[in-house]
Amino acid sequence: MRRLLLCLGLLLPAGTAAAQHNHASRGTQEAFTATPAFGPDGTLWLVRTEGSRVVVVRSSDLGRTFTAPVAVTPEPLNLDWGPDARARIAVDPKGVAIVTFAIFQDKNFNGRAFHARSTDNGASFTKPQPLTADTTSQRFETVAIDPAGRVFTAWLDKRNGPAARKAGKPYPGAALAYAWSDDEGARFADTHIALDNTCECCCLGVAFAGPGRPAVIFRNIFPGSVRDHAVVTFSDPATPGPLNRVSADNWKIEACPHHGPSLAIAPDGSQHAAWFTDGTARKGLFYARADSTGAVFGPPRALSAPDRQPARPYLLAEGAALHLVWKEFDGDKVSVRWQVSTDNGRSWSAATTVANTGDASDHPQLVARDGRGYLSWLTKNEGYRLIALGGSS
């Protein structure tokens, strides 16, 4: 067992070294991400982007050993290598795994989002199909299973831009698009636009307020090109609710921050957001909570200090616990810092370091099983790690 773990640890950095060699010779960008999901039987599924391929591996021993990679994209693709892009995976209550990912269609960062699924416990994946028929641009797609087991996907879509510009109207950013699947991710129904003019290059966060009630957090474009965060909570599967601004940071920027937020909903219905901003009102990484759907978010609480580059927050509600992680840099090492709340985000433990690394790293991810939260983190030096939060399991 230990030997296998070591092997995996060695394999991953070797892959990165090969990728870096490619940089030198071809200068191509390499995606370097691992996104986790637990299946109903407790199996850990990981979707990884390795160069120009998307592969899935599984572990039945909490990340100590993994199955051989199974390709979701057999042919090499120009995967979206943006710093906030990643392939996603969700496993439904019957053990069907749905993967989403995007490719670049051109050199102007227009994307095309795809989905594929496995109904044979990861032995094979269906041929990837576009998430939507429109070909303008889709990026930052994400997939999640609602509490009733229905598959929801959301992404940033640029379909409304060309028509607006043709009519002489400006169209900043993209639109928040979504679709549902009623056949466990085999097909997705018609695309709907929840709202226009979101920021176009930050990942989305999704949580559920109940069955058929996704809540999506995203960087919005407020008047004056202010790119602050907002949450839209659906009142039913077809009705996105009003936009609820998380915080007035006043980050006016005509650019792409490539730094998306995270959202969790606690059992009492309270909403929890974490995000990065460089606004005039505040700079750095922040957390805020709202008592319920649509309620005003409370005052932002700073996570760490701006001179430690705090970044890439992730929130997860599991049982009675709310977990919050982010990464920061002390001039030598990047650390994943963790806080936990057991009173629905009213008070939090002091931040502690869960893991660190001395080189490049993916964004930290959280995943939960049997009431326990885990940090899922891919780093260049150490390879992939799954670490139980709050001590060994």
Partner 1 sequence: MKRRAPITAIFAGLCLIAAVAAAQVAASADPLSFTRGSWAKLRTAHAGQPTVIHFWGLTCGPCLVELPQWGKLLKERSGLRLVLVAADPLPQEPQRVSATLAKAALGGAESWSFTDRFYERLRYEIDPAWAGELPRTVMIAADGQIAVLPGVADLAQVRTWLDAQTKAPR
Is 380 a binder of partner 1 (CB under 8 A)? yes
**232 or 378: CB nearest partner 1:** 378
Task: Looking at residues 309 to 348 of the shown chain, list those that interact with partner 1 (rule: CB under 8 A).
Answer: 309, 311, 329, 331, 334
Is 170 a binder of partner 1 (CB under 8 A)? no
Q: What is the 3-state secondary structure (H, E, C) of the chain?
A: CHHHHHHHHHHHHHHHHHHHHHHHHCCCCCEEEEEEEECCCCCEEEEEEEECEEEEEEECCCCCCCCCCEECCCCCCCECCCCCCCCEEEECCCCCEEEEEEEECCCCCCEEEEEEEECCCCCCCCCCEECCCCCCCEEEEEEEECCCCCEEEEEEECCHHHHHHHCCCCCCCEEEEEEEECCCCCCCCCCEEEEEEECCCCCCEEEECCCCCEEEEEEECECCCECCEEEEEEEECCEEEEEEECCCCCCECCCCCCCCCEEEECCCCCEEEEEEEECCCCEEEEEEEECCCCCCCCCCEEECCHHHCCEEEEEEEECCEEEEEEEEECCCCEEEEEEEECCCCCCCCCCEEEEEECCCECCCEEEEECCEEEEEEEECCCEEEEEECCCCC
Contact string (CB under 8 A) for partner 1, positions 21-50, x = contact: --x--xxxxx-x------------------
**29 or 235: CB nearest partner 1:** 29
Among 17, 306, 346, 352, binds partner 1 (CB under 8 A): 306
Is 17 a binder of partner 1 (CB under 8 A)? no
Closest CB 284 distance from partner 1, rounded Å: 8
Is 308 a binder of partner 1 (CB under 8 A)? yes
Q: Quick one: which segment of 40-48, 81-89, 169-177, 207-215 binds partner 1 (CB under 8 A)?
A: 81-89
Among 81, 171, 180, 348, binds partner 1 (CB under 8 A): 81
How many residues bind partner 1 (CB under 8 A)? The answer is: 33
Contact string (CB under 8 A) for partner 1, positions 230-269, x = contact: -----------------------xxxxxxx----------
Closest CB 78 distance from partner 1, rounded Å: 13
Is 83 a binder of partner 1 (CB under 8 A)? yes
**183 or 330: CB nearest partner 1:** 330
Q: Which residues lie near partner 1 (CB under 8 A)?
A: 20, 23, 26-30, 32, 81-83, 109, 253-259, 276, 278, 283, 306-309, 311, 329, 331, 334, 359-360, 380
